Amino acid sequence: MFQFLPYLLKGFWGHRARAMLTVSGTAVALFVFCFVSAVQDGLLRLTQDKQAQRTLVVFQENRFCPTSSRLPQDYTKHIAELPSVTGVIPIKVVTNNCRASLDAIVFQGMPAEKLRSSRELNLTAGSWSAFEGADDGALVGQAVANRRNLSVGKKFTINEVTVLVTGVFQSPTTAEENLIYTHLDFLQRARGQNSVGTVTQMEVHLSDDADVDHVAATIDAHYRGGPVATTTRTKGMFQADTLADLAELIGFIHYLGYACVGLVLALVATTTVMSVQDRIKEHGVLQTIGLRPNRIFRLIVSESTLLSTAGGLLGIGAGLVFLSFTGLAVAAEGVTISFRPSMDLAITGAIVSVVVGVLAGIIPGIQAARTKIVTALRQAG
């Protein structure tokens, strides 16, 4: 099967301009495909995360931006006493931009010991003790650190909030890597906040056998007539609701992904058709020598597959490198979607380029294999 590989490769070399243009076109399309898929993965991960289905978020009723939600902090006490509730974390959220943004900074202030027990943070620099020892200490997600070029020991100011970076972390929940964690009381007292005694939201952890919806309804019912009414949803729902507008947009981006696949198909098919038409006579000669029509077909399909796979791998590689170095994320109303490279993404991209390559070769391949030898030999060239 592989004895004709040198012939294929030398054929590419003989038409290197054409081959290179096809490969680079495919690479660009797959780069975009990769990007689009990463955006979608990010959204999916956020809303379908298992943990997110079993954790509740209590927010002020009818409020969306974190700056406008103010819950009395002592709500925690009552909620903690409800059946099936295993823990309540009061969280103060501060963001520099409530609208959709690619460079939103989101601070979450919470009690240090709760942060440590509820989040699986893996510190790549700095330490917990440094964080706990500094009033203005902050643990910065890897993605923010990359984007803003932050490292341990640096001071960092945004929206009048100045923090000291005491650690940089990675998290299995990639969206977390776009957050900056601080102490709760620090963020409540920060300049321009003046919100001691209130928090933005509460995160409620439940026992495994809890009836999630029932607990949510109980909380909301209890505060309906209280000083501040609440809306309680699962974390996944909360994030999905918050990002609803963005999600719609992202859903639309989906089509961009399909368009990329179509583009590659058209591009590789065009190149293959051209290359087959250039070599009708050559294929006649090969058949005269004794290559079966079937083999001619396979040679042509291999040719288109090699081209699109080479371009695909290049584009996916570039896409993954780009995604991991830029730590890109989109945030709205304090919730972030991170675009992360992943093995799944690489595999999907690779499969797409192989399948598209095969499809692109089928019709020209059949044409070449069906052409009568004597007709082919009569062609000029």
Site residues for another protein per CB under 8 A: 3-4, 6-7, 10-11, 13-14, 281-282, 285-295, 372-374, 377
Q: What is the DSSP string of 68-102?
A: G--EETTHHHHHHHSTTEEEEEEEEEEES-SS-BS
From the DSSP assignment, how many helices (H) and strands (E) are in the chain? 15, 14
Q: What is the DSSP string of 264-302?
A: HHHHHHHHHHHHHHHTHHHHHHHHHHT--HHHHHHHHHH
Q: How many other β-carbons are positioned within 10 Å of the β-carbon of residue 184?
A: 21
Burial (CB count within 10 angstroms: exposed 0-12, middle 13-18, buried 19+), residue 30: buried
Residue among 377, 361, 357, 358 nearest 283 (CA) = 377
Between 1 and 343, whose beta carbon lies closer to another protein?
1
Whole-number minimum distance, CB 365 to another protein, in Å?
Answer: 15
Under a CB-based contact definition with an 8 Å cutoff, are residues 309 and 358 in contact?
no
Q: From the centroid of its chain, how far is CA 59? A: 26
Between 162 and 375, whose beta carbon lies closer to another protein?
375
Q: How far is CA 136 from CA 131, 133, 177, in A?
A: 8, 9, 19
Q: How far apart are CA 177 and CA 171, in angstroms?
A: 6
Whole-number minimum distance, CB 368 to another protein, in Å?
Answer: 13
Whole-number minimum distance, CB 302 to another protein, in Å?
Answer: 15
- For the record, the structure tokens of 76 come out as 């925690």
Between 224 and 370, whose beta carbon lies closer to another protein?
370
Whole-number minimum distance, CB 287 to another protein, in Å?
Answer: 6
H/E stretch holding 2 reads none
Burial (CB count within 10 angstroms: exposed 0-12, middle 13-18, buried 19+), residue 34: buried
Between 121 and 286, whose beta carbon lies closer to another protein?
286
Between 49 and 282, whose beta carbon lies closer to another protein?
282
Between 6 and 197, whose beta carbon lies closer to another protein?
6
Q: How far apart are CA 303 and CA 358, in angstroms?
A: 9
Whole-number minimum distance, CB 357 to another protein, in Å?
Answer: 21
Whole-number minimum distance, CB 271 to another protein, in Å?
Answer: 16
- For the record, the structure tokens of 263 come out as 């583009």
Whole-number minimum distance, CB 288 to another protein, in Å?
Answer: 5
- For the record, the structure tokens of 81 come out as 């006493």
Between 7 and 255, whose beta carbon lies closer to another protein?
7
Residue among 286, 347, 338 nearest 7 (CA) = 286
Whole-number minimum distance, CB 333 to another protein, in Å?
Answer: 59
Amino acid at 66: P
Between 197 and 290, whose beta carbon lies closer to another protein?
290
Q: 329: which strand partners?
A: 338
Between 91 and 369, whose beta carbon lies closer to another protein?
369
Between 4 and 128, whose beta carbon lies closer to another protein?
4
Whole-number minimum distance, CB 280 to another protein, in Å?
Answer: 12
Whole-number minimum distance, CB 11 to another protein, in Å?
Answer: 5
